[in-house]
Amino acid sequence: MFDHDVHAYLRALAGERARRTGPFLATFDEHDAGPYRNYAVPDDDADPTPGDLAELITAFTNRSRVPRLEYLPGAAPKVEPALLAAGFTVETRLPLLTCSPADVAAPPAIDSVELVLARTDRQLRQVAEAQNEAYGQPETGDHDVARLRGVLDRGGLVALAVDTGAGTGVGGGECGPPLHGVSELAGIGVRESHRRRGIAAALTSTLTRACPAAGITTPFLMPFDDDAERIYHRAGYRPVTEMLHISLR
C-alpha cells in the first residue's frame, strides 16, 4: 500500500509538466535537462510492450532528454525486466525512508545559523542558490524561484538555513505538496563552506516538524549515499522500501 501511495504522489507532483506515454507518466523540465527533473513513473502493475518502450524513449529523445525512470519496483514488478531487455541500465537503488512527524528528533542548535520556513521571494532565491551550489548547478535563475514558489502555492514547505552573521542562505530543502498526506522531503542541500555542522539534519527536522500544519502525515525521502542516510537516521527516519533509478544511455 505504501508503494502505491508514493507512486500516486509522484504522478500528482508532475502536475502540468506531465505527459502520458503508454503505461508511463513522464515529467519534463524545459529549463533544466538534469536527470532528476526529467523522468517517468510507470503505472502500477504495468506490463509494457516493446512498442510502449519505443514510444517512451522517443518522448525523451525528441526533447533532448535522457530516457529515464524513477519508481518503486514493488509497485510495478514487470517493468524492470522489460527495461533491461530494451537496453536500459540501472543507475542506483535507493532506500526510501519515512518518519512520523511526532517521532522526529528536535533540530540541533547550530552556532550562527537560523532555520526558518521560507516565504518571500528573497528567501526562496537564497534556498535555490544554496541548493544549486550543493548539487553542482551552474547558476540560479528566476525559474528556480518560480519552482519553489509553486511548491508553496500548492501547499508544500520550503526551509532555509541562514548564516546570521553574513545574512546569506547556506542551506535549503523542501517538502512537496501533499497527496492524501504523503509528501517527499527533498532537495536538502548545504553550501560546501557550511557542511559538517549539522545543518542538513536541522533542515530535515525543521521540515518534518512543520509537516502536520501542511497536512503532511507521511513524509518520505531518499538518501543518495551512506553519509546522508546516517543523517536522516539521526533525525528519526527509517527505511521501508526501495526506489529504482534506471536510464538508457
Residue 138, pLDDT > 80, answer no
pLDDT for the residue 36: 85
CB-based contacts of 138: which residues, under 8 Å, 6+ apart?
Answer: 132
pLDDT in tens, 165-199: 999 999 999 999 999 999 999 999 999 999 999 99
Q: Which three cell numbers stand for residue 83?
A: 527495461
Q: What mean pLDDT comes out for the span 159-164? A: 98
pLDDT for the residue 17: 83
pLDDT for the residue 14: 81
Query: Which strand (E) or helix (H) includes residue 113?
Result: strand 113-117
What is this structure's pTM? 0.86
pLDDT for the residue 25: 97
Under 8 Å between Cβ of 97 and 240: yes
pLDDT for the residue 137: 84
pLDDT in tens, 5-29: 999 999 988 877 899 999 999 999 9
pLDDT for the residue 1: 82
pLDDT for the residue 34: 86
pLDDT in tens, 74-93: 999 999 999 999 999 999 99
pLDDT in tens, 14-73: 877 899 999 999 999 988 888 888 999 999 999 999 999 999 999 999 999 999 999 999
Q: What mean pLDDT comes out for the span 133-147? A: 91
pLDDT for the residue 44: 97
The average confidence (pLDDT) of the chain is: 95
Strand order across the beta sheet in which 89-98 lies? 18-21, 24-27, 39-42, 68-71, 238-247, 89-98, 218-221, 182-190, 168-175, 157-163, 113-117
Residues in the chain: 249
The DSSP secondary-structure symbol of 240 reads E
pLDDT for the residue 246: 98
Task: For each of the domains in the chain, give its residue range(s) and CATH number, in order of start.
Answer: 2-87 (no CATH), 101-240 (3.40.630.30)
The DSSP secondary-structure symbol of 179 reads B
Residue 233, pLDDT > 90, answer yes
Q: What mean pLDDT comes out for the span 204-224? A: 97
CB-based contacts of 62: which residues, under 8 Å, 6+ apart?
Answer: none
pLDDT for the residue 54: 98
